[in-house]
Structure formats: C-alpha cells, structure tokens
Structure 1
Amino acid sequence: MKRLLVSFLGLMALPPMVAHAFDKKHAEPWPTTRFEQNNYASTSTVADVAQFMSALQKRDKSLSYYRPKAAPRSTESGQPLNAWRLAATAKDPLRVYINAGIHAGEVEGKDAMQIIMRELIQGKYPEIRQALEIVTLPTYNADGADAQDPLNRRYQPNPEHGVGPRENVFGIDLNRDMMKAVAANTKWLLAMYQDFQPAAVFDLHTTNGSYHGFHITYEPAWATGGDAPLQSLNRKMLTDVRATMLPRGMPTYDYGNFRYNKDKQIEAWESAFSTPNLVSNYPTLQYALGVLVETYVYRSYQQRIEDNRLYVVELLRWLAQHKDEVKQEQIAARARWEAQWKTGVARLPLRTEMSLAETYQFEVVDPIKNELGQIVGEKSRTKMELPAYVAFKAVDEIQIPQGYLIDPAYAEKLRPILEAHGLKVLSGISRPSKQAILYFHESERVLAKDSFQGIFPVQIKGQWKSELPEKRAGYRWSKETLDNALYVPLNQPLGRLGFYLLDPRSGDGLVYWGFLHAYYARGKGMWGEPPRQPILAVGYVGENNGQGADGKTIEKVQE
C-alpha cells in the first residue's frame, strides 16, 4: 500500500503533459520532451529531439530514422538533418511530410510534432495511423535549432532560455530557397520529394503580423501555375478544418494581414505569397497538397504548442478521411497536364494576382503591449465584416514551348539543380528535330538594387522569336553546340516546374536567382561582345508546330 501511495504521489507531481504519458499496458512512463521535463523553460535542441524519437522507436518499430536517397546527412556546418518515418498500419497509405523549425525562432511546430508522434504511437488516432504514412523533420533549420538565445524574437512569449534565429548559419532564409536550392536543407527536402513522394506537405511556422486573434492562420499551396482543381481541393481541406475547429474554441483563418487605406483605416484582409520558393507553395508543382501553418505569435509558448498539436492532428484526420479523393485528384491533375500536350496547346500563367475569396467577420484586436512588444492584454476587440483577398488567379497566361536548351557551358552548374527537382534532363541531340529554335528578345531587364538571400535578383520581360537578337554575340550557337546542350522537355510530368525554373520571365526561376548572371547582369564596364544566350526555347505546340512564335520556319543557327 505504501509503495502504491508513493507511486501515485509521484505521478501527481509531474507536469500536466507528463502525467498522461504513461502506458497502462506496460505500467511505465512514455518518453517525455525537454519542455515537458522543465515545465516549458526551454525548447528542444536537435539532440533533444533525436533522444526523444529514439526512445519512441523502442516502443514501436514502425517508427524509423529516415534519410532520403542521395540526400545530405547534415547542414553545411555539420548539424544533422534528423527525420523520422512512421509507417501506416494498413496498406496503400497516403504519404504526408511535416516540416517544422524552418525558422528556428518559431519553435512550436518542432515541439508539437514530438507530442503528435508520441500520441500516434500510443494509439490515440487509429484512423490516422491506418490511412497515413508520415515523415517529419522537426528541426529542419538544424543550424538555428541549437543557437537559442533569450534575445531572439523577444516580441513573442518565449521559454526563458530563448529560441533560435530565423535564418541558417549562412544567413539564408530556408523558406525562400525551394527553387534555387542552394542550402543542404533544401537539397534534403528535394531528395525527400523524389524518394517519399508525399501527397501532402505541411510547414509549421509562427506568424508575427496583424493583431487578429486567430489561434492559427493557414494557406494552401498557391504557387503560380499549379493545377487549379487540385488547388481547389487544397483550399477545401483548410476551410473544412476551419469549420471543425471553430466550435472547439480554436478560431482559424487564411494567412494574411489587414489592408489599410490612405486614411489608415482597415479596408480588407489579404494574403501575400504565391511563389514556389516557399516550402508550403512548392508542393502544388509536385502534384501535392501544401499547408502553411502559422501559429498566433502573441499567445503563450505552451498555448502555441497546443494549438499546433490540435490543428495538425485535425489536418491529418481530414487527409485520412479523404485519402481516396486526394489520390484521385492527384492522378487527374497529372492527366490534365498530359492532355494539354495531346490537344497541342499547353499554356501556363507568368504570374498571379490576389482575388476576392469571400467576405468574413474578423476581430480586430487593440493590444496592450509591454516594453518587448509582447501582448499583455487587450483594450478591445472590434468585429468587422471585411472582404478577404486570400485566393489567387492566374494572369498573363501564355503558350509555352516544347522545351528548353541550356548552353553546355552551364551544364555542370544547372543539371544537378534540375535533376534534384525531379526533372528529366536529356542531351540536346534528342530535341524535336522539326521544331524551331527560338531566341529570347528582351524588352526590359531590372537588376535589383538591394540583395535578397545574398543575391541581386534580375527580372526579365520579353518574348521568344525565331530571329537572332539584333546584338551580335561573341560566341555562336552552332549545330554542334545545340547537340551538346542540355534539353529539358516540358512534355513531362513535372513540365510545369521546368517552365518556372527555366523561362527567363519567371519570377522565381534560375535566371531570377542569379544562376545566369554572367549573361543577364552584365555591367557597364563589360564593353565587349556578350556571350551567346544561355537558354533557348524549342518550338511551340499548337498552330505554330514546327515554326517560331511569329510563324516563320525552323531552326536558325549562327554558322
């Protein structure tokens, strides 16, 4: 009796989230996280997460350490990229990847994922375990995860030992790196796409924007050029979950901020990003659903972990319930892309614009803040019916070429990136022989005055034509050069992605990100003849088949 009393008192002394972590069958405690052990005084380090997940592996062998084929094992500074894979309990599961800690000051997702994985193994969500196979990398920004400092992100309520910085050790924002893929972390993620082939990707963040009062804001994968019906299903998932969470006391809405008029009065709510360089937008170009999860920064650290846990579980539950629908829509999206080529007309937009999705009732918080910028109270909350510009529509839709030729001088530089994205890269000799070779005629070139991600991006406007540009190049495209070039056909499953990586007009492609600055960023001091264009287009489909964009005949090469 005395022994039982001691055990009971010991259990009662544990923090709330630890007390429930007992396995009744084995009568022994489940692994606990760092923040559970110290009553939320600190967030987890890379080693803490690895130790916790290793302990979970001992309880369930279906949880395994995961490393994609050909992926880096660590960051450039040597921090391990530790991910885990939890197998489903039934056949033919839907595959889900959950990313956390990409901004190391936004720690709630990293910590919530440990709890979620424990709960899944404990059997709390059998419908999820049956339908879904999950891979998660909780400390994606492994450099920042261990660089914890109380001075980081002081405007949010943090554990007393602090949180990490936003960027990696090189100052790269990893959530702007999906297309250029210069960081080891991004190379790991692209390898995961090829190896695991997820049907859905979540990226867990903490917002730092408007005082809106939503516990979670979210955004589907809105990348320019994604399949529209697949994106509609993506949005439906999030609005369904929104309707489920609201009666449970968790208000959620599309990610964004209040828009103010010239009189500084709130007039609308609007979203922000539709570029595929974001981890949560990129999935749509891989025929997957994507979700940006933004926890409300002004709630307490413990509340933000719990908000993440509840919301991510509900997303997983929705996917489990709609597994077949998601799979069917993925197949249909690929078929729609293939059908464009069969009809002879393949088209994609060059950009998107925000569009009105609905009118919604918002609560505008008038905060009371302390000297650190943390909300310590509220003066009032005002309800406002506002138009919500949280969808995107395609604009500047154009007919796209059959593919692109890349100067052999750039092959060693560009081929690894293209193949890392999953694109099929062929030799120039395999290009369609009866299709026109098209040259890009620039109408505008704007080189950024300030650097972004350590790069001075360049924005290009113009069109493809069969005539050579007026200014003579110092090096010529000959038939031999064409044959030795890289050829990237767009008539392949990931052709959409190929277009946005290689077309010079792309707002998020390799030209924009400086990979071809030797040609596109020549300064005044470079007075000699320019090199040849590094990228050529190969023919258009449809009515111009076998001809250039202006209807003139095929292949013109400098001899």
Structure 2
Amino acid sequence: MHIRHRPALAAALLASATAAVGQTPAALSGLPAAILPPALPWSGASERLIVAGDDPWITPAERSDFVTTPRQAETRAWLERLDAASPLISIETFGRTGEGRDLLLVRASKGAGKDGTPKPVVLVQAGIHAGEIDGKDAGLMLLRDIALRGKHALLDRVDLVFVPIYNVDGHERMSRWNFPALRGPLEKGYVGNARNINLNRDYAKADAPETRAMIALLRRLDPVLYIDCHVSDGFDMQYDITFTYAGWGRYAYHRATADWLTERFGPKVMRALSRAGHIPTIYPSPVDTRTPVSGIRQAPEGPRYSTGYGDFIGVPTVLVENHMLKPYRQRVLGTYVLLEAALALAASDGDRIAAAKAGDRSSRPATMLTRWQPAAQPIGWVERFRGIAFDTYRSPATGRLEQRWTGKPVTFRMPVIGQEPVETVTLPKAWWVPGEQVEVIDRLRLHGIDFETTASPQRAHLDRVRLREVAVQPAQDGRLPIKASFDHEPVVETLPAGTVRVPADQPLGLLAAALLEPEAPDSLLAWGFFPEILSAPPRAEDFIDAPLAEALLERDATIRTAFAAKVAAEPAFAADGAQRLAWLRERLPGRDRFHHVYPVWREP
C-alpha cells in the first residue's frame, strides 16, 4: 500500500471501530472504546476541583470535559492571560527546542522570604513524553487556583516552578495514533523530540537541547523537590495514580533523600490521594505484562532518567506514572491532588529536605554498583494487589493467545522482584580525560562536575582500561551504545598539558563515576562517546606480521600457553589463519594507542 493511502486507512479503521460501539469521533479519547478495555466507574472528591462551564478561568481541558488537551499556542496564551491577571504568576523562557520553539516555565511566587533570601523551589515538569500530558492540564488548574482561587498559602514558604510542556516539538506532533493505549486525550503528542531522542533517556549523555536546558535549570534552581509527570504502560489494574522514586527508594545511590521520599513524601501523598477518592500505589513496574502475577520489578536506576539523575545529584525526585487506562479526567484530577500535597509537604519539610540533600552531597561512597540481576526469591509481597481479571483469545493477527481485559476487579498476592548485585566497582581518586575529548569535557561542564585542567605535563601512576568482546548495540536515542568486557592494567603515563583531572572527592563525585567509570551502564563510554577506539589499528602485511607473531610465541611463554589453549578449545579459531594472526597482533609490542583502549585513565 502506498504511503499516501495511509491516512485514509486510519480514518477507515477509526470509523469502523466507532460504528461498532455507536459513538461519534468527538466522543473518543485516543483509541476507540471497542479496542480499549472497559473503564472502571469512578467518582471522587477531586471532581470538585473542576470549575463551572461558564467560569472565565476554565482551562482548555476542562472546557472540553477533558476530551482534548490544548496545543502549545493555546497553552501559552492561557498562561499569559493568567500572568497578566495575577502578580503571583510570571513566565520566562529557559531554552529552545531543536525546531526553535520556546521552552517555557511558569513561576508562582510571593517573592523572597522574610530574611530576603529566595524561597526553596518545587520544580514540576510535564510532557517529557509529550503524549503523557496529564501534568500540563493539572498544572494549569492548580496555577489558577493558587493565583485566583484562594490557594496562595501554598506559596508562603516555597515557590512553584512549572514546565507545562518539556518536549514541545513532540507535543506539537499530535495524533490520535500516538500512545494508543492511553485513554485520552483525543490527540496526543509524540514520545521523542524533533530528532526522535527520548528525553527521559538523555539526562546523562545530554544530547538534546531540551535536556541541556533542563540540566541548566536544575543547577540554577537546585529544587527541594523535582516532579516528573508521566503516564504508565503495563497491564490493567484498579490503581489510578502511581508514583515512585529512583530505585523505588530501596536501591537509591544516595540514601538521605531516598529516605525522605519513602518515609515522608509517599505516606503524605498517598493519604491526600485516598481522601480525594483515588486509588494510589507505588508504581508497579511489571516483570511480564502478559502474566501480571509474575511480579512487579524494583531495580537501581542510572542517571539517564529524571529520577536516576535526581538521585545522583542529590535532589529528591518523583516519577508520577498515572495508569494509562484510566480516563483522562480522572488522571488529571489525581495529578492535581498529588502536586498540591507535594507543595504543602515541601513547605513544611524544607529543613528536613535541605539536611537530606546536604547529607547526600557530603557523602563519599567508596564503591558503586554497576551491574545487577533479578533476585532468586521475591524481596517482598503485596498481599492484596488490586488487579483486573483478563481472559485470552486466539488472535487472527498474531496467531497466538492475546489478553482481553474484562474490567472485573480482582485481588491477588503479588511478588516484588528485587535485584542482587553482580558487579561493584571501587571508585578511584580521580579520572584523567585528555583535552582533545571535548565532547566529554563539555558534558562534565554542563553537569557542573568539578575538574581542573593541567598547565604542564603530569607523570602519574594510573589504571588503563582495555576493552574486549566489544559489541555495538542497536541505535538508541541518537547514539550507538556499546557493551564490552574490561581489563585493567597499571601504567605510568606522562599526560600532556591540557589534560583534565576529575576528582572523585566532590559533591557530584558519584555522578562523575556514573559518567566515567567504564563498567557503569550509563557511562559515556557505554553510550558510544568514543567511536574512534573501535577503528581497526593500522597493520603491516601478513608476511611481516606472521614472523613477528612467531617470534612472540617463541619468547613469551604466557602468550604461547594462552594461544595453544585457544587453538585447542575453538576449532573455528584454529582453522582460521586470519583470526589467529589478529589475536596475536593484539599482543605484539607497540600496540595501537587507540584500538580498544578507553581514553580516560583512572587514578587509583
């Protein structure tokens, strides 16, 4: 079928499914009701947050009865009108997208505190995945009620900084075919930005202009609380508003902020949501969506994610994951309740949060977990998990059994699948980065990691890392990641002037380790920042290298023994002269200084 026919196909599919359930297209939210599972009936006290249809400050989502969400221009116009009406509201641009659109933030503030110092900031962002846009419409409602409807006391001890649309370019690519499992709004934005980079995989490598702007904003504000609003995928269940933190709190790299989140934030917000008629829980990340009773997964997180990044920089960070199959209206109202409760708690717990942040930033861990695997036994159980029943049917499309959710509530005992460590690295005193690695040094500077640049050559005892079993991974978010095994060897190097030394003893030492330790899963090496080390080394003709390899075997007993063992164990290797010579070439004196050599040294 030609591409020009696909819009007609989409319209026909929608019309067919619509007719099957007797609805008009205007009544639909995303996919037709014939495809999405049944929605559970719901009503709650949070419905009182919705204003009357003739209210002059009704938000665009409220006006549509939460069927649609406004585009960027309408969102901005509404906010600018609110800014003009209230001295508590101000708008600014903090960056631009790849396609040149403004990145907007809204500050709700009563000004500095009594002592003249700025108040702590709660930073809330919506639309990092632009189809998951609940936070935008909830934030508009909350800003209105703070500015004009008597909730200004929320600003007595904190400021709210709200980013209504983080991934603006993706947001403006609205379609009812984006995020098809989400029950509303009718049209949704796209997951990636203009370059199809998933911004919630970009915090560590920071390739996107949006990410770079957000990191700069985080450094400027240093918020007491950072909230990232999403909508989940997974399986059907009764819970509507779910949230979590880095490593589910259990596996966080920094303990003080994680403890505040689990001990203070979680219980407070759970109570507020329950009182408002919602059914909250900690985000149940499924081990297997096709078999929900397999369990929910909890694991460490790297700094590619907002929550992981917040953990590594010592900022309490919350991931909101509203349940995809709950109606948009219900999800938006639950998000409003969560944000309001979060503001109130941040105001009352300001000193506690500041102490937790300071404690994390003063910690100097000696090791860092880099690889883990699912624990052999559950680490806990949810005794009465509130799920939804399903049956199966034979799909003519897939030829296999597929799920069909019934909408009938069930409860069952759900295992929590944790992780156990596989690899932990001991952190060095420092890392040394060659001055020519400008892209890496740019990332260190962007993240605010301290480093010093040498003015003269430095001779040092260092740890050099060689890669083996290197495998380039499928393209992801604008990069070609790699996986490898590593050999460490002590060397004495004279490093030229202009080399950068990154000490581990600094507030962001753990983030430096996550970016520069070769074994770290979100390291710049793992993201493919050093493609030059994958190039084949220069080589002489075989009639030169073969005698050199013979001489190497004759004089080096260790290499001779390893070579003989490999020949005996691997018949394909034994029969392939090119492979045999390549293996020996890598062990000849004067090896290439680039090939499979990590160009960052570690200072033990």
TM-score scaled by length of structure 2: 0.73
CA 1:534/1:105 → structure 2, altered by over 3 Å: closer, same or farther? same
- CA distance in structure 2 between the aligned counterparts of 1:272 and 1:145, rounded to whole angstroms: 30
> Any idea what the Cα deviations from partners look like across 1:298-356, whole Å, max 9, x if unmatched?
1112222112111222222222222211111111222223xx6xxxxx32222455676
Matched residue, 1:12: none
Counterparts in 2 of 1:189-268, with a 5 A limit?
Answer: 189-222=214-247, 226-236=253-263, 237-259=265-287, 264=291, 266-268=293-295
Match of 1:510 among 499, 507, 524: 524
* Contact 1:33/1:44 (8 A) holds in 2: no
> Any idea what the Cα deviations from partners look like across 1:356-408, whole Å, max 9, x if unmatched?
66422212212599x9xxx998452221122324x667663332111111122
Q: Kindly indicate whether residue 197 of structure 2 is the aligned counterpart of residue 184 of structure 1.
A: no
Gap runs ≥5 in structure 1 = 1-14, 23-28, 341-345, 469-476, 541-559
Matched residue, 1:164: 189
* Contact 1:354/1:393 (8 A) holds in 2: yes
Match of 1:363 among 386, 400, 420: 386
Q: Kindly indicate whether residue 372 of structure 2 is the aligned counterpart of residue 349 of structure 1.
A: no
Letter in 2 for 1:207: S
Matched residue, 1:298: 325
* Contact 1:220/1:238 (8 A) holds in 2: no
Match of 1:494 among 508, 511, 531: 508
Q: Kindly indicate whether residue 154 of structure 2 is the aligned counterpart of residue 128 of structure 1.
A: yes
Counterparts in 2 of 1:455-470, with a 5 A limit?
Answer: 455-467=479-491
Q: Kindly indicate whether residue 102 of structure 2 is the aligned counterpart of residue 76 of structure 1.
A: no
Gap runs ≥5 in structure 2 = 1-47, 396-402, 541-590
Counterparts in 2 of 1:6-405, with a 5 A limit?
Answer: 17-19=50-52, 29-30=56-57, 32-68=58-94, 73-88=95-110, 91=113, 93-122=119-148, 124-160=150-186, 162-222=187-247, 226-236=253-263, 237-259=265-287, 264=291, 266-271=293-298, 274-337=301-364, 346-352=366-372, 358-360=380-382, 361-366=384-389, 378-389=406-417, 396-405=423-432
- CA distance in structure 1 between the aligned counterparts of 2:188 and 2:526, rounded to whole angstroms: 33
Which one is further off, 184-193 or 219-228? 219-228
* 3-state DSSP of counterpart to 2:522: coil
Letter in 2 for 1:148: M
Measure how far apart 1:190 and its partner are.
0.8
> Any idea what the Cα deviations from partners look like across 1:441-470, whole Å, max 9, x if unmatched?
44543321x2222322112332543137xx
- CA distance in structure 2 between the aligned counterparts of 1:392 and 1:60, rounded to whole angstroms: 49
Matched residue, 1:418: 444
- CA distance in structure 2 between the aligned counterparts of 1:93 and 1:55, rounded to whole angstroms: 25
Letter in 2 for 1:145: H
- CA distance in structure 2 between the aligned counterparts of 1:209 and 1:330, rounded to whole angstroms: 33
- CA distance in structure 1 between the aligned counterparts of 2:224 and 2:435, rounded to whole angstroms: 35
> Any idea what the Cα deviations from partners look like across 1:151-188, whole Å, max 9, x if unmatched?
2223322234x111111121111111111111110011
**Identical pairs, percent:** 21
- CA distance in structure 2 between the aligned counterparts of 1:105 and 1:460, rounded to whole angstroms: 35
Counterparts in 2 of 1:398-547, with a 5 A limit?
Answer: 398-410=425-437, 412-429=438-455, 436-442=461-467, 444-448=469-473, 450-467=474-491, 478-479=494-495, 481=496, 483-519=497-533, 521-522=534-535, 530-532=592-594, 533=597, 535-540=599-604
CA 1:427/1:318 → structure 2, altered by over 3 Å: closer, same or farther? same
- CA distance in structure 2 between the aligned counterparts of 1:318 and 1:21, rounded to whole angstroms: 33
CA 1:503/1:111 → structure 2, altered by over 3 Å: closer, same or farther? same
CA 1:353/1:377 → structure 2, altered by over 3 Å: closer, same or farther? closer
* Contact 1:367/1:377 (8 A) holds in 2: yes
* Contact 1:256/1:272 (8 A) holds in 2: no
Letter in 2 for 1:251: I
* Contact 2:231/2:321 (8 A) holds in 1: yes
Which one is further off, 92-101 or 413-422? 92-101
> Any idea what the Cα deviations from partners look like across 1:239-278, whole Å, max 9, x if unmatched?
44224433543222222334459x9571422246612111
CA 1:178/1:110 → structure 2, altered by over 3 Å: closer, same or farther? same
Letter in 2 for 1:19: A
- CA distance in structure 2 between the aligned counterparts of 1:16 and 1:244, rounded to whole angstroms: 14
Letter in 2 for 1:486: V
- CA distance in structure 1 between the aligned counterparts of 2:404 and 2:145, rounded to whole angstroms: 32
> Any idea what the Cα deviations from partners look like across 1:414-455, whole Å, max 9, x if unmatched?
222111111123213589x7862221144543321x222232
* Contact 1:45/1:145 (8 A) holds in 2: yes
Matched residue, 1:553: none
CA 1:228/1:136 → structure 2, altered by over 3 Å: closer, same or farther? same
Measure how far apart 1:140 and its partner are.
0.5
* Contact 2:293/2:415 (8 A) holds in 1: no
TM-score scaled by length of structure 1: 0.79
* Contact 2:288/2:294 (8 A) holds in 1: yes
The alignment of Structure 1 onto Structure 2 pairs a total of residues equal to 487
- CA distance in structure 2 between the aligned counterparts of 1:368 and 1:509, rounded to whole angstroms: 43
* Contact 1:95/1:199 (8 A) holds in 2: yes
